[in-house]
């Protein structure tokens, strides 16, 4: 049984503010809700802040939640430049400065996990605790990179219901949970003027020659001092538990929690467990069971 009705239904009874913030000249779409310790949520490749719509209300009970569209994504500006990890990290830090956030808990999914990990390694004073949610392809596997690049470009270049739905379904173990609303929202992003160029600028990270400068590596991952939760799933199409084991070995202070019966978007497929693990780790400092 699917208990999700709509994104608006998820947000209907939670006080929130949706606005655009100037971040170094980049008009950045931001949703904020709640009060408490700052928690910033980062989506994945080609994504947008609605990736967290099922979680905002629950997180806002304990945190000052900020979800946003990264530069080149969603309804933020699409400047013509490669969106490498350092660029995405600088955009995050610029947003924190614009919002007056000195330091925060960071939780990133997929590409967002890569960005928050890089930020924690290179700007440790800005990060309190860290959640890496299905960060994906830690081992830099060419087939995984090619699959992501090809499925994303196909959906952006031909944003039909079929191709966009296939791209969104890639994120889910239970594909019946992919609603028309979610597909149509993603199509609206993909058909923005200039988005083909923008996604090309994002997918440079799937080029091994570009990726090598930012690839997951113990040389920089080992510098992350923030307590870190690895949030994995049983059915993540981008990386298995062998890759989680790599990060556990590289990170100085990390623990692992595996969500069963979910794919690349546990925050959508298993929101109750997602919320509980975040609350326990970020607020109470408890290791996952």
Q: Is 169 inside any structural domain?
A: no
pLDDT score at 40: 99
The per-residue DSSP string of 66-86 comes to EEEPPTTSTTS---SS---HH
d(CA 180, CA 190): 15
Q: Is 187 inside any structural domain?
A: no
Beta bridge partners of 29: 20
What sign results for the dihedral spanned by CA atoms 112, 117, 123, 127?
A: positive
pLDDT in tens, 63-113: 999 999 999 999 999 999 999 999 999 999 999 999 999 999 999 999 999
Q: Is 100 inside any structural domain?
A: yes
Q: With 70 as the cut, is the pLDDT of residue 1 above it?
A: no
Q: With 80 as the cut, is the pLDDT of residue 209 above it?
A: yes
Average pLDDT over residues 127-144: 91
Please tell me which residue, 151 or 265, carries the higher pLDDT value.
Answer: 265
Q: Is 85 inside any structural domain?
A: yes
Per-residue confidence band for 284, with pLDDT thresholds at 50, 70 and 90: confident
pLDDT in tens, 166-175: 999 999 999 9
Report whether 127 contacts 226 (CB < 8 A).
Answer: yes
Q: With 60 as the cut, is the pLDDT of residue 53 above it?
A: yes
Report whether 233 contacts 240 (CB < 8 A).
Answer: no
Q: Is 161 inside any structural domain?
A: no
Task: Give the range of the structural domain holding residue 42, as residue numbers without chain letter.
Answer: 7-141+217-283
241-275 CB burial, b ≥16 within 10 A, e <16: eebbebbeebbeebebbebeebbbbbbbbbbebbb
Average pLDDT over residues 220-246: 95
Average pLDDT over residues 125-129: 98
d(CA 245, CA 84): 25
Q: Is 109 inside any structural domain?
A: yes
Count of domains observed in the chain:
1
Q: Is 1 inside any structural domain?
A: no
Q: Is 49 inside any structural domain?
A: yes
Angle between the N-to-C axes of helices 161-169 and 180-190, in degrees from 0 to 180, rounded to the nearest 10: 110
Per-residue confidence band for 2, with pLDDT thresholds at 50, 70 and 90: low
- CATH number of the domain that 75 lies in? 3.40.50.1820
pTM: 0.97
Mean pLDDT of the chain: 95
For residue 188, give every residue at least 6 positions away whose Cβ sits within 8 Å of its Cβ, in sequence order, or none: none
């Amino acid at each position: 049984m699917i208990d999700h009705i709509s994104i608006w239904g998820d947000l209907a009874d939670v006080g929130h503010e949706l606005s655009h913030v100037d971040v170094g000249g980049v008009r950045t779409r931001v949703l904020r809700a709640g009060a408490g310790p700052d928690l910033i949520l980062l989506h994945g490749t080609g994504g947008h802040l609605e990736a967290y719509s099922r979680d905002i209300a629950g997180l806002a009970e304990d945190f000052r939640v900020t979800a946003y569209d990264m530069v080149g994504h969603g309804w933020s500006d699409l400047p013509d430049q490669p969106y490498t990890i350092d660029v995405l990290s600088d955009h995050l830090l610029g947003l924190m400065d614009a919002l007056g956030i000195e330091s925060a808990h960071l939780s990133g999914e997929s590409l967002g996990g890569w960005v928050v990990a890089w930020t924690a390694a290179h700007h440790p004073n800005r990060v309190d605790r860290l959640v890496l949610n299905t960060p994906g392809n830690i081992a830099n596997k060419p087939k995984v990179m090619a699959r992501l690049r090809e499925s994303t470009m196909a959906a952006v270049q031909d944003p039909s219901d079929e191709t966009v739905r296939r791209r969104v379904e890639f994120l889910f173990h239970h594909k019946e949970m992919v609603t028309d609303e979610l597909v149509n929202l993603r199509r609206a992003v993909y058909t923005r003027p200039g988005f083909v160029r923008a996604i090309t600028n994002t997918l440079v990270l799937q080029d091994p020659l570009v990726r090598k400068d930012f690839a997951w590596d113990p040389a920089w991952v080992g510098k992350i001092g923030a307590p870190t939760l690895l949030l994995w799933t049983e059915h993540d199409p981008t990386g298995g538990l062998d890759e989680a084991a790599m990060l556990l070995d590289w990170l100085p202070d990390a623990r692992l929690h595996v969500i069963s019966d979910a794919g690349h978007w546990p925050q959508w497929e298993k929101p109750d467990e997602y919320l509980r693990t975040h609350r326990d780790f970020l607020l109470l400092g408890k290791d996952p069971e």
